[in-house]
Chain A
C-alpha cells in the first residue's frame, strides 16, 4: 500500500473540502426556527361547518389506552377525516419526541397528548395552537373553574381537557383493620400515628410508599397545602420552593422517613408493582387514575381497596391537590387545524366517547356533565369492593385550589426535582434539604434560558 504522498495529499484535501461543504450545508439547513406567529390576535371564529366538510388527514400522538375506540367513533361521525393514532411513549418520552419533531420541523403530528402541567412549557416555545376560533362559544363553561384556568392562558384556549387527577388516599381495608387503624383517616396527624402504628405491627410492610422523586405527587401535596410556588409569566418568573407551606409538607414526611415508618422506593417500576402484589404497601396517595396501573398486580386484593379524601392539615378542612391530568392540544404548524381541533373537541365532549373513557377506562372526567352524571357517580367498582368511588373523587375534585400556576420550564423542573429530591431522600437527608438546591437549580436554568426571574 505505498501510494505516493502527493496523490494522498490531494485526495485528503478534496475530502476535507467536501466535509466542510457538507457540514456548512447541513448547518445552514438546520436550526429550524419556530414558525411565525400566523395571524394572532384574531379571535374571529372559523366557519367550522364548511371546514369540516373538506377531506383531511390528521395524526394524533396519545398514550391513553382506549383512544383507538374513540378514534373509530370519530371516524364514523366524520367519514371524510382520516385519523392516524400513534403512541410514541408515555410522559417524558412523549414530550422528548414532540420536542424533537418541533426542532426538525418534519413529521409533526396534528394533535398531541398534553398534560396540564406541561401546557405553559409548550406555549413558551409558541408550539401550541390557540383553539378559540375553532371551538364553540362558551366552551370553557363546560368545566369547573380550576380546570378552565389550566387551559385558558392569556385569554386563549390551548387544550381540550381529557382527564384529571384529584389526589386522594387509597388503602387496603383488610390490612388496616387487622392493624387496628381507624378509617377514614381524617388529618395528617392521624396519618402519622397510623403509619408508625402500622409499621410496628407489620415490619415488612408500610402504610404508604412515598418516593423521594415523583415530583408530580409532591407538587400535588404542596398544592393541597395552599402553596403557589410558580408563575407562568416568563417576564416575571417566580420559583419559590422554600415557602413554609412547602416545608410544612416536607418536614412532615421527613419525620416519617426518619422513623422508618414510610418506605421511599422508586415508583412505576417492576419492584414497586410487586410491592402491591405482595402486600408491602397497604396504601397509596393516588390520583383518581391510579388504580388503572394496579389492576394487573392486585388480583389477590381485589375488593379490599377503599378510597378516601386526602388527610387534612386541619380538622374539618376539605381541600385537595391535583396530580397529572391531560388534555389534547393542537400544534401550531398543523395543516388541518379545524379537523384537528374538532377531533379533540369531539372525543372529549361528545357523550359516547366520554362515557367510554369514564366507565370503561377508569379515567376521571373533567366535564361538568359527567361530574353530575348520577349513574357514573353511583357506579360501584369491584376493585373497591363496591364502593362508589367516583362520588368520593368528584367531591375531592371540587376542592382543588384554582389559583395554582404551572411553570413554563416543566420538563426541567420535574426531572431536576426527581433527581435532587430523590437522591436526598434516598441518602437519608430528607426532602426538606433538597428544596433549596432544587429552587436554585430551577432559577439558574430559567435565567440561562432567557426568562426574567423575579427575586
Chain B
C-alpha cells in the first residue's frame, strides 16, 4: 500500500526545520492582510541566515519581517514598497548599506513570481519602460523590444527556496482557500517556491473544501500548520 499523503506538520518549527542559509524566501501579505506572522517568527527561531526576502513591503514596526531584518540575517530584499511610516528597521539597515534592495514595480513583482511558478523563461512587460526601474543592478539597461508598436522590458522570473503563506483553510493534500484580500501574493508565491509552507485556521477532511473553490491546489503546497485565529468583531483578522 502507498503511504498516505499528509502535508500537515505538527508545528511551525518542524515545517521550517530544513531551511538552509542563503535561501530565497517569499513572504506573502499586503498591509495587514495575509502576513504569515507566525511563520516569520518561526524562521527567526529557526535561525537561517544570509537570506533574500521577497515581499511587497519591507516590514513594519518591530514585528514580523521587521524583526527578521533586525536579526541581521537578511542580505537582500526584493519588494515594491519598502518606505512606510513605520519601516524604521528597514530604513536604518538600507541607509547604512547593510541590506541590498531590489525595487520592483508591484505588477512586475507579481508576474515575475508567477512566471517562476509557471516555468516561463522571461517575459516582456510594458511596465517600467523608460524608467529607472528598467535598469539592472549595475545600472545597465534591461533588454527592451518593440512589439506591435509598443515598447516592452524583458523581466526574469523570481524563484524561491521557500514560500511562507497565510491561508484560511486547508486539507492534508495541501489544498488551500484564502480569506478576502489576504489572498494577495499567496497563490503565486506558493507556485514559485521549491517548498511552500502555509498556515491555516482550519484543517478539514479531504472533500470538505469545495473543489470548485480551491484557490491553491495542493501540488503547490508542501507543509500546512494549523494556527489560532484572532478575530475582530467583523469576524476577520485583528491587526
Chain A complexes with chain B:
no
A: residues with CB less than 8 A from B are: none
B: residues with CB less than 8 A from A are: none
